[in-house]
């Protein structure tokens, strides 16, 4: 290796990192420093980039958690000098802006994330750190390297949570306070260490995973499993506070149910300190907050602003947190490290080669996942009596080259403190010996136990969710619903229920179709069971619909190329997971399965569900359902509180009864595509769809099918948009003049529903033509719509 180059871990796209030679970074600005890296972490957030879940550029050095020694300094740097051992947060801070000056560095206006397209990271032998005076600090000599890495965000965030809980109380009040800690993951355990510094009267730690509660107990808290004894927890808090409620609640989870629990356990004028990352709604209303004089502190930890104080605290507590470090591997094996981290391929033993890669433990998120490594290990080695936890954070030691000739080739079992004398039979968050019989018993009950968990075990920004294996996905339980027409329901159910009974027997799922509602075309198919069973079931449903449609005279939308649409009902809150940023995820699903998917933009009437239409062959639909199910399992918390769609007759205010045609669909709508009532659709397929052939029991079935190509040979496609009823007239124009002009100019056929398609009062425009014709028609329609809106706005002024 040249003296001008270094080894670095470089990102080259989803699933691909390499260890390669890169130029050693140089000073670019007077405030820069170059750090020779001693240790650098592979953080859970980097897996989002590695897996492609977070779209990113390529060609940059990964890593934003590190420690090291200063190798070179810029001319204006004053806080450190060459040779100093330093530690850094995961982002840079300028130290000069309003937010940095006021202790709010988490909102620094010039902040940069290490390990991104804008700033190469620290999974390398050297790293450049801009605005060094505002970012790095000298590391206290008494803090071990393994503990220092916690300073990137985990430990300061825990300290921040504790500090916010107590800052409103006097020393006398603190001594009499009862504190409830919700969540016992890594950040929470760091918070617990800091809570004990305040010496409150009593600390209760709440979680649903016994191993985490054991660790919380060892750190000084009274453990409570909210899942198995919620009533006992409530009574215990009242007993300790003379019925008032907890004085301080510290929430380190990031889920609305956790915040709600904290609110319910809190006394009036109590304080909630929350560092969990919340995406859902705040679970109390204004009246509740007002009635309790609620005091809440939420948000991201300003890591750099509290660095000095956090380092002092870490020096006191580092030995208590020693269980978080496990394993060492060389930087040269970083590619393998990413693969292990991604797939959780953690070995029971490993060569003792130093320096290398250290795995930092992130306690995993449910008993089902905790026990999965036990099941895997038992299946691969029935004679083994020791199993090790899946791990989810790693540290690279980057000294290079690595000499191993002086080291023993012996292997070692990952060494961690043992639990108390009578450990929980469930798999602990740190390694210990478990008999194969106990492990098998625990594994056998894992799914049943996991089904009861609310997953109060996800930490804040430092948190990571342990990736599931394909087998774990296959065994995960969920319910997936779909809209079907009445005739489709008949095919699915079969004569005397034979088809649905066979479906249940073949796949092991519970399946059923909602009852008929007079005058309503839609029914709902519900399938509950394991993901493997559900995906297979929907593949069989698609096959059954293709095979059974002709004999039933079914009016559903089918294709002449052996494909059929399945119209899935998906919670509005979970749609982002399926679509992905810029449509990346939904495109990946289509590529993997060969289906075409359209995600509707509007929620169904009186529900919070939307439709995702999956059009493909039975085998393609089975693959797509598998991928969609994985998304829903990973993001199942967002599905809580979904208002389910219930097919019912809905009449527009002031309108007469709806007339129906061909099976109950409102006149003017396609009876086989009732999902169009939800409004605009977003087509994420790469190729345009062909037009559909519609089968029915009428003479219309004998008519020749509509053309599938234009005169120029381009494929025809159909798109739908919804427009408010009171705007339709301006688009049609007097005597149809405007719509005729749009048709003529664009070359597309445009039909307009005679009545609103649901209680939003919007009418459906169906556009059919080539891709370019449809695009031009859409442009002209929206241009007319915006012009009319502008005209009305000016008229009001």
pLDDT tens digit sequence for 549-561: 655 544 444 455 6
Domain assignments of the chain as residue spans, ordered by start: 5-139, 476-655, 714-797
User: What is the spatial distance between Cα 656 and Cα 654, in angstroms, rounded to a whole number?
Assistant: 7
Q: What pLDDT score does 272 carry?
A: 97
Q: Which long-range contacts (CB under 8 A, 24 or more apart) does 375-382 make?
A: 375/443, 375/446, 376/469, 376/471, 377/348, 377/439, 378/436, 378/439, 378/440, 378/443, 382/436
In terms of average pLDDT, the best of 241-250, 345-354, 670-679, 709-718 is: 241-250
Q: Give CA–CA dist 451/446, Å, rounded.
A: 9
Name the residue with higher pLDDT: 776 or 179: 179
- What's the first-to-final CA gap in the chain, in angstroms? 73
Q: Give the model's confidence band at 334: pLDDT under 50 very low, under 70 low, under 90 confident, else very high.
A: confident
Instruction: Report how far residue 32's alpha carbon sits from residue 128's, in angstroms, rounded to the nearest whole number.
Output: 7
SS3 at position 153: coil
Peptide bond into 192 cis (omega under 30): no
> Is the pLDDT score of 615 beyond 70?
yes
Higher pLDDT, 41 or 563: 563
Average pLDDT over the chain, rounded to an integer? 75
Q: When comparing pLDDT for 325 and 464, which is higher?
A: 325
| Nearest one of 116, 93, 122, 118 to 35, comparing CA atoms | 122
pLDDT score of 391? 30
Report pLDDT digits (tens) over 165-180: 999 999 999 999 999 9
- Give the best-scoring range by mean pLDDT among 18-32, 335-349, 357-371, 449-463: 18-32
pLDDT of residue 418: 28
pLDDT reported for residue 644: 81
**Rounded to an integer, what distance in angstroms lies between the CA atom of residue 627 and that of residue 621?**
10
Mean pLDDT (whole number) for 683-700: 41
What 3-state DSSP class applies to 24? coil
Q: Does the domain made of 714-797 have the CATH classification 3.30.565.10?
A: no
d(CA 534, CA 133): 56
Q: What is the pLDDT of residue 439?
A: 37
Tokens of 117: 């397209």
pLDDT in tens, 743-758: 888 888 898 888 776 6
The answer for residues whose C-beta is within 8 angstroms of residue 355's C-beta and 6 or more apart is 328, 330, 397, 398, 399, 402
Report residue 584's pLDDT band, with 50, 70 and 90 as the boundaries. Answer: confident
Structure tokens that stand for 461 in this block: 């920004």
Q: What is the mean pLDDT of residues 523-537?
A: 93
pLDDT digits (tens, 9 = 90+) for 397-446: 333 333 333 332 222 222 222 233 333 322 223 333 333 333 334 333 33
> Is 201 or 765 the better-scoring residue by pLDDT?
201
The H or E element containing residue 259 is helix 256-265
Compute the average pLDDT of residues 729-747: 85
* Cβ proximity of 752 and 723 under 8 Å: no
**pLDDT of 327 over the 60 cut:** no
- Poorest-confidence range of 42-46, 220-224, 294-298, 351-355? 351-355
Say if strands 178-182 and 202-207 run parallel, antiparallel, or are unpaired: parallel
Q: To the nearest whole percent, how much of the chain has pLDDT over 90?
A: 40
Predicted pLDDT of residue 82: 97
Cβ neighbours of 400 (radius 10 Å): 14
d(CA 337, CA 7): 15
**Is the confidence at residue 328, as pLDDT, over 90?**
no
Query: Which pair of structure tokens corresponds to residue 672?
Result: 């086989």
- In this predicted model, what pLDDT tens digit does every residue of 513-525 receive, in sequence order? 988 887 778 899 9
Check residue 294 and give its pLDDT: 96
Alpha-carbon radius of gyration of the chain: 30
- We find that the CATH architecture of domain 476-655 is 2-Layer Sandwich (3.30)
Topology of the domain comprising 5-139: Quinone Oxidoreductase; Chain A, domain 1 (3.90.180)
Taking only the tens place, the pLDDT of each residue in 105-132 is 999 999 998 999 899 999 999 999 999 9
Instruction: Please provide residue 99's backbone torsions phi and psi, each rounded to the nearest 5 degrees.
Output: -70, -40
User: What is the pLDDT averaged over residues 4-27?
Assistant: 92
The CA-atom distances, in angstroms, between 422 and each of 212, 214, 434, 517 are 15, 10, 12, 58
CB-side neighbour CA atoms (13 Å) of 585: 20
pLDDT at residue 326, rounded to an integer = 55
Task: Give 755 or 221, the one with higher predicted confidence.
Answer: 221
> Which pLDDT score is estimated for 690?
40
Nearest alpha carbon to residue 132 among 118, 151, 112, 115? 112
The CA distances from residue 408 to 331, 357, 412, in Å, are 19, 17, 11
Is pTM beyond 0.85? Reply is no
C-alpha distances out from residue 184 to 254, 296, 370, 447, 687, Å: 12, 20, 15, 21, 48
Residues 603 and 610 sit within 8 Å (Cβ to Cβ): yes
């Amino acid at each position: 290796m040249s003296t001008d180059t270094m080894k670095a871990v470089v990102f080259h796209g989803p699933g691909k990192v390499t260890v390669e030679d890169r130029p050693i970074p140089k000073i670019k600005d007077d405030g820069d420093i170059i750090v020779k890296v001693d240790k650098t972490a592979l953080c859970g957030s980097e897996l989002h980039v590695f897996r492609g879940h977070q779209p990113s550029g390529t060609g940059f050095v990964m890593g934003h958690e590190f420690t090291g020694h200063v190798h070179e300094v810029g001319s204006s740097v004053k806080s450190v000098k060459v040779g100093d051992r330093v530690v850094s947060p995961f982002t840079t801070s300028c130290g000069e802006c309003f937010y940095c000056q006021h202790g709010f560095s988490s909102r620094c206006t010039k902040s940069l994330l290490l390990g991104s397209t804008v700033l190469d990271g620290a999974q390398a032998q050297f790293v450049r750190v801009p605005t060094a005076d505002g970012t790095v600090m000298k590391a206290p000599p008494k803090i071990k390297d393994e503990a220092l890495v916690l300073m990137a965000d985990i430990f300061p965030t825990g300290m921040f949570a504790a500090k916010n809980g107590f800052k409103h109380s006097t020393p006398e009040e603190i001594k009499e306070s009862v504190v409830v800690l919700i969540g016992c993951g890594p950040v929470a355990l760091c918070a617990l260490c800091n809570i004990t510094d305040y010496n409150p009267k009593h600390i209760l730690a709440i979680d649903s995973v016994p191993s985490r509660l054991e660790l919380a107990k060892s750190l000084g808290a009274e453990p409570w499993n909210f899942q198995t004894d919620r009533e006992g927890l409530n009574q215990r808090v009242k007993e300790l506070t003379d019925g008032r409620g907890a004085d301080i609640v510290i929430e380190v989870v990031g889920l609305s149910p956790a915040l709600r629990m904290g609110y319910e356990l809190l006394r009036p004028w109590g304080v909630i300190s929350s560092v969990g990352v919340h995406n859902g709604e705040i679970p109390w209303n204004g009246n509740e907050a007002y009635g309790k004089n609620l005091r809440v502190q939420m948000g991201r930890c300003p890591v750099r602003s509290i660095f000095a104080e956090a380092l002092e605290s870490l020096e006191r507590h580092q030995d208590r947190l020693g269980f978080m470090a496990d394993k060492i591997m060389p930087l040269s094996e970083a590619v393998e490290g990413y693969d292990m981290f991604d797939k959780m391929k953690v070995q029971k033993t490993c060569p003792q080669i130093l320096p290398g890669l250290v795995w930092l433990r992130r306690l995993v998120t449910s008993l089902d996942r905790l026990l999965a490594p036990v099941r895997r290990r038992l299946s691969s080695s029935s004679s083994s009596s020791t199993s090790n936890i899946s791990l989810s954070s790693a540290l690279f030691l980057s000294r290079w080259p690595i000499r191993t000739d002086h080291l023993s080739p012996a292997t070692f079992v990952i060494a961690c403190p043992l639990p108390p004398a009578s450990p929980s039979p469930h798999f602990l968050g740190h390694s210990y010996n478990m008999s194969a019989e106990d492990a098998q018993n625990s594994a056998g009950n894992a799914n049943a136990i996991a089904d009861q968990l609310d997953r109060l075990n996800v930490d804040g920004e430092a948190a990571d969710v342990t990736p599931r294996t394909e087998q774990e996905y296959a065994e995960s339980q969920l319910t997936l619903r779909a809209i079907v027409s009445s005739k489709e329901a008949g095919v699915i159910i079969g004569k005397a229920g034979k088809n649905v009974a066979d479906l249940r027997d073949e796949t092991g799922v519970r399946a059923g179709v909602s009852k008929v509602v007079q005058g309503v075309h839609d029914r709902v198919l519900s399938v509950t069971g394991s993901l493997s069973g559900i995906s297979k079931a929907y593949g069989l449903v698609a096959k059954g619909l293709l095979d059974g449609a002709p004999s039933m005279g079914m009016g559903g939308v089918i294709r002449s190329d052996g494909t059929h649409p399945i119209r899935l009902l998906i919670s509005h809150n979970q749609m982002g997971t399926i679509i992905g940023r810029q449509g990346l995820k939904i495109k990946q699903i289509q590529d993997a399965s060969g289906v075409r998917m359209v995600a509707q933009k509007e929620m169904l009437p009186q529900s919070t569900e939307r439709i995702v239409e999956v059009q493909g062959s039975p085998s393609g639909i089975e693959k797509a359902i598998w991928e969609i199910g994985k998304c829903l399992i990973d993001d199942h918390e967002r599905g809580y509180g979904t208002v389910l769609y219930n097919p019912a007759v809905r009449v527009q205010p002031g309108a007469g009864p709806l007339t129906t045609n061909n099976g109950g669909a409102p006149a003017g709508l396609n009876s086989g595509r009732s999902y169009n009532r939800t409004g605009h659709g977003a087509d994420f397929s790469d190729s345009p769809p062909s037009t559909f052939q519609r089968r029915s029991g009428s003479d219309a079935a004998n008519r020749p099918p509509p053309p599938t190509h234009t005169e120029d040979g381009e494929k025809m496609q159909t798109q739908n948009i919804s427009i408010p009823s009171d705007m339709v007239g301006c688009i049609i124009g007097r005597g149809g003049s405007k719509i005729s002009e749009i048709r003529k100019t664009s070359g597309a056929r445009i039909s307009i529903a005679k009545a609103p398609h649901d209680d939003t009062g919007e009418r459906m425009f169906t556009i059919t033509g080539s891709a370019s014709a449809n695009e031009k028609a859409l442009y002209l329609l929206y241009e007319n719509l915006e012009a009319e809106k502008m005209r009305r706005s000016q008229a009001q002024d």
